[in-house]
């Protein structure tokens, strides 16, 4: 292998943190390399947010078409061509990935390298070039290395799982037709979004969750309402269900043994979490320490145990959201290119579960606030009392806000309803600006909008 080529900065991975970070270093005139073993764009663009939400949109159209008569619109039988859904998803992913790659290639001081990176020392890398049949590699070194290598779907240690064909969050999007009966292991974000999606595509769906309830981080009233909504759509849900074993069923299907009962299906989706890609990088060769789950251990400034080596995004065990990885980029840019003393401390972690209706979340749950000993008041408003939801016949779910009883400031909110993520963002803006709930209660908002209902939400608190 030739002597190591020297760079000012090297970024591993073209995800939502790594890609803009590499571009920022290049724009600052620093010689920069960014290494990608797959397609440009990272998890979000290639196999996460972009493709899944594209397919969620198709599933929602199918659902609304089936409800057309409720709106006085007469249609014929509704069917779904999953090959067209898949092509639409692929086309959008291809467009976004190509655009991201072109965005990187336009930078004068940036070298985009396709290959697999692994550490050979504290700040040196071996990169096996993509497609090199002879195993040839190049050596790179830099004063600063940033790891944005992400995570991948995990497979739980269930007896028999390795003996059956199963799907994960990537492979399920490549199906050309809807399964007759899809069994989903996991009642978290991935399992719920895909479960509802494929039910709307025409599959019978059974969701198996080991915890006593779905999305157990949320307050019990929120998770129970979402479970009710999914059940009413016809999705089978088994909670507090521990899987004992998995085996082949009849005609190539699968059998899942759960606490004395057996569920038979044609397809199995494993949606029980993700594991970091740190093991692919040989971190021990650099002296990079991992935590007990295999994530790269970092401090508040995202520096690893090796000076000059940093990690950002999912691979650090941070909340696995695109917007969090992007905020990691902004923090690192401020530190390394802006000379600021920035860190991750105290940032908000909003998220949206893209079921239909959506669940938008910001800040503390009621349970978390009370566990912290805070004096709180809680406001709730069913979507059946929201004018815009009634007009669109989308009245499932409710809004919930937690307010500090001493300061009237909003501590957190969950909006389970049509465009719940958008409405929760309005409340996040109020939290960021230190706006008390009383100002929102008496605010003048356009009618009829979903956000206007925040008047009513906080009026209910004072009733």
Supply the residues annotated as catalytic. 447
Distance, C-alpha 327 to centroid of its chain? 15
Determine the Cα–Cα distance for residues 283 and 290; give it in Å rounded to an integer: 8
Are 184 and 167 contacting, i.e. CB atoms less than 8 angstroms apart?
A: no
Query: Taken in order 289, 292, 297, 299, is the CA torsion positive or negative?
Result: negative
How far are the Cα atoms of 353, 375, 415, 418 from residue 61, in angstroms, in the given order? Answer: 18, 43, 22, 14
C-beta neighbour count of 433 within 10 angstroms: 8
Query: Taken in order 434, 439, 443, 445, is the CA torsion positive or negative?
Result: positive
Measured distance between the N- and C-terminal CA atoms of the chain, rounded to whole angstroms: 74
Residues in the chain: 463
- Residue 347 makes CB contacts below 8 A (sequence gap 6+) with 327
The label of the residue with tokens 């195993």 reads: 135
- Residue 13 makes CB contacts below 8 A (sequence gap 6+) with 34, 35, 36, 42, 147, 148, 149, 150, 313
Angle at 152 between CA 195 and CA 202, to 5 degrees: 20
Determine the Cα–Cα distance for residues 180 and 199; give it in Å rounded to an integer: 10
- Give the pairing of strands 267-270 and 181-185: parallel
Instruction: Give me the residues paired with residue 11 across strands.
Output: 34, 146
* Residue 445 burial (C-beta neighbours within 10 Å; 0-12, 13-18, 19+): middle
Q: Which residue pairs, CB below 8 angstroms and at least 24 apart, start in 78-83?
A: 79/202, 80/178, 80/200, 80/201, 80/202, 82/175, 82/176, 82/177, 82/178, 82/201, 83/176, 83/177
- Residue 377 makes CB contacts below 8 A (sequence gap 6+) with 402, 403, 405, 461
Are 310 and 304 contacting, i.e. CB atoms less than 8 angstroms apart?
A: yes
How far are the Cα atoms of 58, 131, 147, 148, 450 from residue 37, in angstroms, in the given order? Answer: 30, 10, 13, 12, 43
């Amino acid at each position: 292998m030739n002597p190591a080529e020297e760079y000012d900065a090297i970024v591993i991975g073209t995800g939502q943190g790594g890609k803009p970070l590499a571009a920022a270093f290049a724009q600052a005139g620093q010689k920069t390399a960014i290494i990608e073993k797959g397609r440009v764009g990272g998890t979000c663009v290639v196999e996460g947010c972009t493709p899944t939400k594209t397919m969620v949109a198709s599933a929602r159209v199918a659902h609304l078409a089936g409800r057309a008569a409720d709106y006085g619109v007469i249609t014929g039988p509704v069917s779904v061509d999953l090959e067209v859904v898949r092509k639409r998803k692929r086309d959008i992913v291809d467009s976004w990935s190509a655009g991201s790659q072109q965005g990187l290639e336009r930078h004068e001081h940036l070298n985009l390298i396709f290959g697999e990176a692994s550490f050979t020392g504290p700040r040196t890398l071996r990169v096996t070039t993509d497609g090199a049949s002879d195993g040839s590699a190049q050596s790179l070194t830099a004063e600063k290395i940033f790891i944005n290598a992400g995570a991948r779907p995990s497979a739980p240690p269930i007896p028999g799982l390795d003996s059956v064909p199963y799907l994960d969050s990537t492979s399920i999007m490549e199906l050309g037709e809807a399964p007759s009966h899809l069994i989903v292991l996991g009642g978290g974000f991935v399992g719920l979004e895909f479960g509802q999606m494929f039910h709307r595509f025409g599959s019978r769906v059974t969701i198996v969750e080991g915890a006593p309830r779905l999305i157990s981080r949320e307050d019990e009233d929120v998770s129970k309402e979402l479970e009710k909504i999914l059940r009413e759509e016809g999705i089978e849900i088994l909670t507090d269900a521990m899987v004992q074993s998995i085996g082949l069923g009849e005609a190539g299907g699968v059998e899942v043994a759960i606490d004395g009962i057996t569920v038979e299906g044609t397809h199995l989706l494993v949606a029980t979490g993700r594991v970091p890609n740190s093991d692919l990088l040989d971190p021990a060769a650099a002296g990079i320490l991992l935590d007990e789950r295999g994530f790269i251990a970092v401090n508040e400034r995202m520096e690893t145990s090796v000076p000059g080596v940093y990690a950002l995004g999912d691979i650090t065990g941070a909340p696995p959201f695109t917007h969090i990885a992007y905020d990691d980029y902004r923090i690192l840019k401020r530190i390394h290119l802006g000379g600021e003393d920035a860190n991750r401390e105290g940032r908000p972690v909003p998220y949206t579960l893209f079921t239909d209706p959506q669940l938008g979340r910001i800040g503390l749950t009621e349970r978390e606030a009370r566990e912290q000993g805070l004096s709180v008041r809680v406001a709730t408003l069913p979507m059946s009392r929201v004018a815009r939801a009634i007009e669109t016949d989308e009245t499932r779910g409710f809004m919930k806000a937690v307010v500090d009883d001493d300061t009237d400031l909003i501590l957190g909110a969950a909006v389970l309803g049509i465009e719940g993520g958008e409405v929760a963002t309005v409340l996040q803006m109020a939290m960021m600006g230190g706006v008390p709930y009383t100002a929102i209660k008496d605010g003048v908002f356009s009618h009829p909008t979903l956000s206007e209902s925040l008047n009513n939400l906080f009026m209910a608190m004072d009733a």
